[in-house]
Structure 1
Amino acid sequence: MTRQFDVDPGLKGSGDFEAVPGADPAPGKGRKVRYRVDVEKGLDLDAALFARAVQETLNDDRSWAHGGAMTFERISSGDPDFVITLASPGTTGVWCAKSGLDTTVDNVSCDSAATQRIMINAYRWARGADTYGPDRMLAYRQMLINHEVGHRLGHNHENCRKPGGLAPVMQQQTKTLEIGGISCRPNPWVYPSA
């Protein structure tokens, strides 16, 4: 989870998805949110590692599960509340466009709200962003999961307000850590001090 991987920023995959097999029970007592993890067929990335990262990140007390508010359960069949999808940049662009979002300019991820899918751009998952650098890949991946799931849970973008403070998880941290002259530090968590 700390390494970078090679993924072509212009990669256009098959567009076919496969659910990561198995399940991870919801560990908490809060409102249960059921999700499935799909990975685009043909991606040379570890699907099981991706699924584990999603489950561990979402159920961390610093994430949306904070204080027992929610608990996240991964399923591979049945009816999920949403589907977290790891896909090539090209396929991510197609699915995000279904919700009126253009992810092709900065090669980013999105919550394709008009569909069931949260699209995680495989290029960003593999390579990260300049704002985090190559030494903070785990933190970047945690931010990516928390940010996009945050949209699905109804949260909009936020910006830094305190110079030198931690960026809100709902800031577009892949693009920048500086907004309106206020520079913040990278932060992957909803509740970083928990």
Structure 2
Amino acid sequence: MPATPAHGFAPFGDDTGGAVRPAPDECAPDESVPDESVPDESTPVRAPDGPVVTGTGSLGYPFTPQNRAPAPAPAPRQDYVDAFERAGDADEVPDGEPASGEIGAQGPQFSSRKKSVKARTFTGVAAAAVTTVLAVVVAGQVAGHRQDDGKPQALGAKERSDGGDAASRSQARPTKPAAPASYGEKMAQVFPLDEKLTAAGEFEPVGGDAKAPGRGEVKRYRVDVEKGMGLDGELFADAVHKTLNDERSWAHGGRRAFQRVGSGDADFVITLASPGTTAKWCAKSGLDTTQDNVSCDSAATERVMINAYRWAHGAETYGPDKMYAYRQMLINHEVGHRLGHNHESCARQGALAPVMMQQTKFLTTGGATCRPNAWPFPGGS
């Protein structure tokens, strides 16, 4: 009688035709009594993690959750296995050993080649894990350096060395402050002021002392500005001094020079005041400035009154594009009264208007229209 292999396989060439007979079991259930615990071949069986199956297995037993073979463990990625297996192709199988998967005289054998593949597979899995960790680290570093829109930004060699690009450094530099407006630019500007304003009525000296630059009779004057108007008093004081000592003004030809004093005795006080305050001081000399909102020389007092509304806004006869010239005319005209000059008219059509003409109100007298003019001696003679 042929011997049964150690693993319980039926001998080849049995009279059963190769079919496997189950061994008698004393505990086998009685076929006459149905046993609900063992399903028949037509009863569908659902494996714990698989589809519903029916029928019997190769050994004659039905598939059940208890006898179904466990699912194979997930294998490493094939590209890692192939890569490391190619690296080990140089390994040779020792003579006399069967290749992996062959059955020898003593039953199934595992060659050293099989062991080598397993080792390389484990090494490949470990290398894959290291590669994944490195990829995560690099991705985190790239994500940490992003543009303003959230997209990754590549770091150049210069950025890595100095920590930023040239554009960022230039934006961080403080911008150069804009240059302050020049004297000429300020004199050409129109300033806001209410035409009906009456300010505090209190004056303060501005400008301090300034020497007379010319020769001849020296006229001492002080500059006062009414408080509460919001105008540039220093600009007004500067304009008075430069205008009066211009060769085209009353200092022409060395006849006189004008010295500004911050305090003490003065021949007159040039005062920049609101329209309401100007009217009060002009009324002390019998002059009405409320009509046309004009200025005056209050001869009964020490003050030459410059209406701040006219200083700030000018007049229609000059327009907003000739504010500089209008302010020079305003100073020369009122100081001319203090020096003893009376009003004049337009001499002929198209001529320059005399500085003592009431140019704030009009440029035409006796049917002749003159051109605006700010100077007593516009030609310098």
TM-score, normalised to structure 2, is 0.51
Give the alignment's Cα RMSD to 1 decimal. Answer: 0.5
Q: CA deviation at 1:181?
A: 1.0
Query: What is the CA distance between 1:160 and its match in structure 2?
Result: 0.5
Match among 298, 303, 308 for residue 112 of structure 1: 298
Give CA deviations for 1:145-168 in whole Å, capped at 9, x if unaligned. 000000000000000111100000
Question: Does residue 160 of structure 1 match 2:349?
Answer: no
Could you tell me which residue of structure 2 aligns to residue 85 of structure 1? Answer: 271
Of 183, 190, 199, which residue of structure 2 is paired with 1:13?
A: 199
Q: Paired residue for 1:42?
A: 228
Paired residue secondary structure (2:330)? helix
Instruction: Provide the aligned length of Structure 1 versus Structure 2.
Output: 194
The equivalent residue for 1:188 is 374
Whole-Å separation in 1 of the counterparts to 2:195 and 2:207: 27
Secondary structure of residue in 2 paired with 1:96: helix
Tell me, yes or no, if structure 1 residue 147 matches structure 2 residue 330.
no
Q: How is 1:88-107 mapped onto 2 (pairs within 5 angstroms)?
A: 88-107=274-293
| Superposition deviation, residue 103 in structure 1 | 0.2
Per residue, is there more strand in 1 or in 2?
1
Per the TM alignment, residue 29 of structure 1 is displaced from its structure 2 partner at its CA by: 1.2
The alpha carbon displacement at 1:22 in A equals 1.5
TM superposition outliers: structure 1 runs of 4+ over 6 Å: none
Q: Which runs of 5+ in 1 are unaligned?
A: none
1:22 aligns with 2:208: yes
Contact 2:207–2:238 (CA<8 Å) still a contact in 1? no
SS in 2 for 1:52: helix
Q: 1:136 maps to what in 2?
A: 322
Which residue identity does 1:132 align to in structure 2? Y
- Of residues 174, 179, 189, the one that matches 2:365 is 179
Q: Which has the larger radius of gyration?
A: 2
Q: Which residue of 1 aligns with 2:28?
A: none
TM-score (norm 1): 0.99
Q: Deviations over 1:71-113 (max 9, x none)?
A: 0001011100000000000000000000000000110000000
Pair 1:123-2:309 in alignment: yes
Structure 2 gap ranges (5+): 1-186
Partner of 2:217: 31
Higher relative CO (CA 8 A, sep ≥ 6), structure 1 or 2? 1
| 2:248 pairs with 1:54 | no
Partner SS, residue 93 of structure 1: helix
Matches of 2:230 and 2:209, distance apart in 1: 22
Q: State the distance in 1 between where 2:242 and 2:207 align.
A: 16
Report the residue type matching 1:116 in the other structure. Answer: E
Q: Following the alignment from structure 2 to structure 1, what is the Cα–Cα distance between the partners of residues 348 and 379?
A: 16
